[in-house]
Amino acid sequence: MQKLSNTFGSYSPEDDDEDAIAIIPFPHDGKAVNYFIQFAKYQNRIRWDDRSLRKLVKDAIPSRIRDELRFTHEDVSSFEGFKRAVMRIDNNYWRRIQEDKNKQHPIRPTQTYSPRILKPDPNRPTTLDEATTPIEQLARDRP
């Protein structure tokens, strides 16, 4: 039977879907959501239980996610809970990467405020009151 399958291909569409879901690569520079979009195309057509689906995803995900799964608070006993945990861990990873990039390249304001400094006009006569500070005026006014 295996020789026939190898020569002529599978004998049912479900077998093709099972083969296809098993070889979906997890994108190393991508996001988990892209993996699960591809995964969902076949998941709905095969009849695998949650445990089998979790095992398939666990084998495909990178170690950075797999290592974090031990610390998750989600219920990973169901496939949906497992998927939510993987997506959360992956989203947090990409958020940290973006924050690190922002720290390395801070955004500079386009316009800074600089107070306008009035320069003395030599043609304008200044009074004593304008030339002194309020503290100097108080000291001058005391007997």
CA distance 33 to 2: 35
Mean pLDDT of 124-129: 57
* Predicted model pTM: 0.61
CA angle 97, 26, 40 (to 5 degrees): 115
Instruction: Quote the pLDDT of residue 87.
Output: 94
Residue 80 has pLDDT above 60, yes or no: yes
What's the alpha-carbon Rg for the chain, to the nearest Å?
34
Of 50-54, 78-82, 87-91, 137-141, least confident by mean pLDDT is 137-141
Residue 131 has pLDDT above 60, yes or no: no
Q: What is the residue type of 56?
A: L
Q: Where are the domains of the chain?
A: 2-104
Residue 78 has pLDDT above 90, yes or no: yes
More confident residue, 27 or 119: 27
Question: pLDDT (tens digit, 9 = 90+) per residue, 85-106?
Answer: 999 999 999 999 999 988 887 6
CA distance 78 to 67: 18
Instruction: Quote the pLDDT of residue 59.
Output: 92
